[in-house]
C-alpha cells in the first residue's frame, strides 16, 4: 500500500491523464450537480449538460460521496483505487494458496503487488483496480463454492462478477474460468445445477439492464465513450487482429516489456511449460485463454491502451509464483536458483525504473496543462464555455474546472467555430506554442474576430 501512496495528491495528468480526468470529472460532477447515479456527467459536453453513455459509475460515485465528507481532492480517488487493489491482492493470495500451496501463493502475491504497471495503474484515478479486484473476488468465491456448496459463496460470486462486468463489460470473459471450475466439479451435471444457472441469468440480466440504460442516454441526446462502436473503436477490429503489428505491440512491446519486464516474461513462459500438479491448476490455463480471447475481441482497445492488459496480471503472477516456488528452494549453487535470482534482480530494477518514469510525469510543475489551466481559471468566468484544442483529451477542461468542447485542431474551421460560438463558446485554449491558424482550418481573416489574451510556451488562451 505504501507504494500506492506515492504521488497521492498528484492531479490526473501524465500517463493516461485522459482516462483519469474523465473519471475525476464524473466524480466531481456527481458532487456538484447532484448524486444522480444513472446520469454520469463529463465536462466536454459543449453546450449540453454532459450526460454520457458509460460503464457503471460505481467508482466515481463512491469518490463523490467521499467528497461530501472530505472535500474535493484527487487523493481520495487514488486512495480508493489503491486500497481496493490491496484488498483484491489478499483474495488473490487466498485463491493461489487453496488451488496450489502457500509458497506459490507468497511468490505470486509478491509479483502481483510489485510488477511495474500493476503498481502504477492500481493507484491511478481510474476504475480499473475496482474491476480487477471484483474479478479476483468473483473467481475466489466461486472456487470456494465448488468446495463448500454454500449458497452465500455463490451469492458473493454473483455480486463480484456482476460488478466487474458492470465496471468493464469485457470482464464477461471470466465466464470461461468459472465454467471450467464448474465442469471440474460437476462434469456434465453442471448443466443440471439450477442455482448455477440462476446466478448466470442474474449476472447477465443485471449487466444488460445497465448497458441498455446507458445506451438510452446516448439515444436521448447524450454523449458516449463509444462502448458499442463495433469495428471502429475499441473492439471488433478483425483486420487488426490478423496483423503482426498487433501481436508484436500487445505481446512484446506491452506485455513482455512494460508489464512483466523481459526478465519476468521469460520466467512466465517457462511457467507455462511446467507440468500441472493436479487438475486444479488448470484453472489458470482457462483464465489465460479467456484473457487472450479478450485481447482478440477488444483488439483496438488493447492495441492503443496498455492498461487494457491489466486482466493478465493475476494469471501471469500465478505462473511466475509457480516457477519460483518450485525452484527457489534448491541450493545457491544450482543453476535454476541462480537464474531465478538474476531474473528477480533484473525484474525489480527494471520495475523501479519504469515506475519512477511514470510517476515523474505526474509532477504538476512540469505540466503545461496544469499551468495553462491555472491561467484559464484566472482569466475566464466560472460559467464560461471553453473550446480546448486537445484532440478529445478532457484534462485541460477538468484542471481548469470549466465546461466546453475538446476537439482536434484540424476540426476547428470557420463553420465549426461559428456553431460553437452560437452555442455559448467564449474562449479557445491550446497547449504548446504554435499559432491556432497553423494547426486548424482557420484563416488569418477568421482570426480577426479572436483576441489572444495569454500566450507563453505553455500555451495560449483566446477570447472570441
Check residue 309 and give its pLDDT. Answer: 97
With 70 as the cut, is the pLDDT of residue 336 above it? yes
Final residue before a domain boundary, out of 293, 326, 360: 360
Average pLDDT for 63-79 = 97
Which of the two residues, 361 and 443, has the higher pLDDT score?
361
Report pLDDT for 236: 80
| 230 and 88 together in one domain | yes
Of all residues in the chain, the percent with pLDDT exceeding 70 is: 97
44 shares its domain with 81 = yes
Residue 230: pLDDT over 80: no
Per-residue confidence band for 435, with pLDDT thresholds at 50, 70 and 90? low
pLDDT digits (tens, 9 = 90+) for 290-301: 999 999 999 999
237 and 92: one domain? yes
Do 316 and 213 fall into the same domain? yes
Residue 36 zone, left/alpha/beta (φ > 0; ψ -120 to 50; rest) = beta
Q: Do 51 and 90 share a domain, yes or no?
A: yes
Number of domains in the chain: 2
- 438 — pLDDT class (breaks 50, 70, 90): low
If asked whether residues 249 and 392 sit together in one domain, one would say: no
Kindly state whether residues 283 and 312 are assigned to the same domain: yes
For the record, the C-alpha cell of 430 comes out as 491550446
The whole domain housing 298 covers 3-360
Quote the CA–CA distance of 155 and 167 in Å, as a whole number. 18
Last residue of a domain, one of 360, 392, 410: 360
Same domain, 294 and 152: yes
If you write DSSP's letter for every residue of 177-240 in order, what string do you get? Answer: HHHHHHHHHHGGGGGG-HHHHHHHHHHHHHHHHHHHHHHHHHHTT-EE--TT-TTTSSS--HHH
The pLDDT score that the predictor gives to residue 99 is: 96
pTM of the model: 0.94
**pLDDT-based confidence at residue 39 (cuts at 50, 70, 90):** very high
pLDDT score of 439: 62
Q: How do residues 239-289 score in pLDDT, each as one tens digit?
A: 899 999 999 999 999 999 999 999 999 999 999 999 998 888 999 999 999
Q: Are residues 97 and 30 in the same domain?
A: yes
Mean pLDDT of the chain: 94
Paired strand residues for 405: 387
410 and 325: one domain? no
Q: What is the pLDDT of residues 155-191, one digit of tens each?
A: 999 999 999 999 999 999 999 999 999 999 999 999 9
Tell me the residue ranges of DSSP E strands in 384-439: 385-388, 403-406, 425-431
Amino acid at each position: 500500500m505504501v507504494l500506492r501512496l506515492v504521488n497521492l495528491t498528484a492531479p490526473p495528468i501524465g500517463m493516461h491523464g485522459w482516462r483519469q480526468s474523465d473519471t475525476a470529472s464524473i466524480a466531481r460532477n456527481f458532487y456538484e450537480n447532484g448524486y444522480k447515479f444513472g446520469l454520469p456527467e463529463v465536462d466536454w459536453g459543449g453546450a449540453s449538460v454532459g450526460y454520457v453513455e458509460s460503464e457503471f459509475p460505481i467508482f466515481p460515485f463512491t469518490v463523490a460521496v467521499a467528497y461530501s465528507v472530505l472535500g474535493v481532492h484527487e487523493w481520495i480517488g487514488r486512495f480508493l483505487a489503491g486500497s481496493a487493489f490491496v484488498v483484491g491482492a489478499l483474495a488473490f493470495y487466498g485463491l493461489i494458496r487453496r488451488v496450489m500451496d502457500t509458497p506459490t501463493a507468497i511468490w505470486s502475491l509478491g509479483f502481483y503487488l510489485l510488477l511495474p504497471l500493476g503498481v502504477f495503474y492500481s493507484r491511478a484515478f481510474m476504475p480499473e483496480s475496482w474491476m480487477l479486484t471484483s474479478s479476483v473476488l468473483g473467481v475466489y468465491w466461486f472456487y470456494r463454492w465448488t468446495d463448500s456448496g454454500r449458497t452465500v459463496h455463490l451469492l458473493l460470486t454473483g455480486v463480484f462478477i456482476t460488478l466487474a462486468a458492470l465496471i468493464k463489460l469485457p470482464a464477461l470473459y471470466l465466464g470461461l474460468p468459472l465454467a471450467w471450475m464448474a465442469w471440474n466439479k460437476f462434469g456434465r451435471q453442471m448443466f443440471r445445477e439450477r442455482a448455477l444457472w440462476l446466478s448466470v441469468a442474474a449476472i447477465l440480466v443485471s449487466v444488460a439492464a445497465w448497458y441498455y440504460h446507458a445506451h438510452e442516454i446516448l439515444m436521448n441526446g447524450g454523449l458516449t465513450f463509444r462502448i458499442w462502436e463495433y469495428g471502429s473503436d475499441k473492439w471488433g477490429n478483425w483486420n487488426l487482429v490478423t496483423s503482426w503489428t498487433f501481436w508484436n505491440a500487445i505481446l512484446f512491446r506491452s506485455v513482455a516489456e512494460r508489464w512483466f519486464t523481459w526478465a519476468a516474461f521469460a520466467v512466465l513462459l517457462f511457467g507455462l511449460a511446467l507440468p500441472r500438479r493436479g487438475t486444479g491448476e488448470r484453472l489458470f490455463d482457462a483464465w489465460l485463454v479467456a484473457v487472450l480471447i479478450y485481447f482478440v475481441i477488444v483488439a483496438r482497445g488493447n492495441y492503443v491502451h496498455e492498461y487494457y492488459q491489466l486482466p493478465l496480471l493475476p494469471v501471469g503472477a500465478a505462473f511466475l509464483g509457480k516457477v519460483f516456488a518450485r525452484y527457489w528452494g534448491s541450493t545457491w549453487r544450482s543453476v535454476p536458483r541462480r537464474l531465478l535470482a538474476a531474473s528477480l534482480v533484473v525484474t525489480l530494477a527494471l520495475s523501479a525504473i519504469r515506475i519512477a518514469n511514470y510517476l515523474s510525469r505526474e509532477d504538476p510543475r512540469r505540466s503545461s496543462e496544469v499551468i495553462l489551466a491555472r491561467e484559464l481559471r484566472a482569466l475566464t468566468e466560472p460559467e464560461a464555455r471553453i473550446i480546448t484544442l486537445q484532440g478529445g483529451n478532457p484534462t485541460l477542461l477538468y484542471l481548469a474546472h470549466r465546461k466546453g468542447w475538446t476537439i482536434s485542431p484540424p476540426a476547428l474551421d470557420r463553420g465549426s467555430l461559428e456553431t460553437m460560438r452560437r452555442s455559448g463558446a467564449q474562449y479557445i485554449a491550446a497547449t504548446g506554442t504554435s499559432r491556432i491558424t497553423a494547426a486548424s482550418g482557420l484563416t488569418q481573416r477568421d482570426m480577426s474576430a479572436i483576441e489572444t489574451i495569454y500566450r507563453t510556451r505553455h500555451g495560449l488562451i483566446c477570447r472570441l
